């Protein structure tokens, strides 16, 4: 694959690594620029891109204090690198199909023993891969980019926390994090960070959340053009659909959720809360057997230009502020605060979304707000995921 420098400019600087590929010179770099709240993120900036030689070197490069452009041109498999653990876990009350497609649980954060597993849960032995439980630490000023559809992290996710900021994760596939277990691992966790752009990635076979913005302040985050693939053989809802998908409950976070294809899930797609301000625009939810949005107290959400196809419950409950039904009157508020006309959501064989609250629109005024187009499932699906930039 060959990109030209002219096509791959980010914030006026191109990070590149040149290597011989079939006798040609290949240039790798972040493509495009973040829209929405994370606008202006530069990642590794002008640092020369490089391909890590091993999982050990990748771990070091991700966590150090050097600005880097890290290229994944193959699979980096972390399964087995930290050994396995056998201990007491549980069969939660939700697992009504044990041995036939259900999902048991690791006792992370005492989840099995503090009552969260539900009445009727039972203690069982669980054996899991230790690497999947904790993500690779990512430091500030990093660009992590995949080549074509070759860049894969297997058995371990990424964690951007403790003040790390200015991070780009683009065009990689994170997969196989103890998918048989609740608490088996998160693909991307952000907590106590700022300026993070998660773009054109794929997430599949994840034990817990595919993307989680934790209780700390993650500040400005754009999650764009990703594929959240919920197809699984271990389902918390016993139907082959992943439940724990996107968790946005940070403290006063600003989150843009745009252009994502979220399919075969059954809940928390996303779960929102924690005083987060969320703009969900031009996403495509398909084949959700439970709920898409679950809007918790304090969360403020504008959902526009999205497609809901075969989604049983687009909005489970609304304990915060939620706008999902553009009207002529509301568009005055959209134009004044978002600087565009809000786009109508589209539904096919789905429940209703609702939500006409515009009282919180002033929170968007003066901020970097992503553009909105008319809802179009094909455009969204064709542009989301790896190998599509």
Candidates 30, 27, 37, 36; CA nearest to 11 is 30
Is 268 tagged catalytic?
yes
Q: What is the largest CA-CA distance in the chain?
A: 63
Q: Which helix (H) or strand (E) holds 303?
A: strand 300-304
- Contact of 288 with 268, CB cutoff 8 Å: no
> Which residues, including other chains, have CB under 8 Å from residue 349's CB and lie 6 or more apart?
309, 310
Which neighbouring-strand residues pair with 170? 145, 199
Question: What is the Cα–Cα distance from 386 to 204, expressed in whole angstroms?
Answer: 12
Cα-based distances in Å from 180 to 91, 106, 185, 194, 266: 11, 10, 11, 32, 16
Q: Whole-angstrom Cα distance, residue 356 to residue 54?
A: 51
Catalytic residue among 91, 208, 220, 268: 268
Q: Which residues contact 84 (CB under 8 A, 6 or more apart)?
A: 127, 128, 129, 130
CB proximity list for 158: less than 8 A, separation 6 or greater: 62, 135, 136, 138, 144, 169, 174, 187, 188, 189
Residues marked as catalytic: 268
């Amino acid at each position: 694959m060959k990109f030209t420098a002219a096509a791959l400019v980010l914030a006026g600087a191109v990070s590149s690594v040149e290597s011989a590929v079939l006798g040609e010179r290949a240039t790798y770099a972040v493509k495009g620029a973040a829209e929405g709240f994370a606008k202006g993120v530069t990642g590794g900036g002008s640092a020369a891109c490089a391909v890590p030689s091993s999982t050990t070197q990748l771990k070091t490069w991700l966590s150090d204090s050097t600005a880097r452009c890290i290229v994944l041109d193959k699979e980096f498999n972390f399964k087995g690198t930290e050994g396995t653990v056998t201990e007491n876990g549980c069969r939660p009350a939700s697992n009504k199909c044990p041995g036939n497609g259900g999902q048991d649980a690791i006792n992370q954060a005492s989840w099995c023993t503090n009552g969260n597993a539900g009445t009727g849960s039972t203690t069982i032995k669980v054996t899991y891969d230790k690497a999947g439980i904790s993500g690779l630490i990512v430091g500030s000023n990093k660009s992590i980019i995949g080549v074509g559809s070759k860049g894969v992290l297997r058995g371990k996710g990424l964690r951007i926390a403790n003040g790390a900021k200015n991070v780009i994760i683009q065009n990689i596939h994170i997969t196989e994090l103890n998918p048989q277990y609740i608490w088996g691992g998160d693909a991307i966790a952000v907590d106590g960070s700022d300026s993070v752009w998660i773009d054109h990635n794929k997430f599949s076979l994840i034990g817990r959340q595919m993307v989680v913005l934790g209780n700390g302040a993650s500040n400005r985050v754009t999650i764009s053009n990703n594929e959240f693939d919920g197809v699984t053989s271990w389902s918390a809802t016993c139907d082959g659909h992943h439940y724990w998908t996107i968790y946005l409950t940070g403290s006063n976070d600003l989150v843009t959720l745009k252009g994502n294809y979220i399919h075969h899930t059954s809940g928390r797609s996303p779960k929102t809360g924690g005083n987060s301000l969320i703009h969900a625009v031009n996403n495509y939810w398909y084949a959700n057997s439970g709920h898409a949005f679950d809007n918790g107290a304090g969360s403020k959400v504008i959902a526009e230009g999205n497609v809901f196809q075969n989604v049983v419950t687009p909005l489970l409950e609304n304990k915060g502020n939620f706008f999902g039904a553009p009207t002529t009157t509301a568009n005055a508020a959209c134009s004044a605060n978002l600087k565009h006309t809000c786009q109508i959501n589209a539904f096919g064989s789905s429940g209703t979304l609702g939500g006409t609250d515009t009282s919180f629109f002033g929170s968007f005024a003066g901020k970097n707000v992503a553009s909105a187009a008319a809802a179009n499932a094909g455009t969204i699906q064709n542009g989301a995921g790896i190998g599509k930039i």
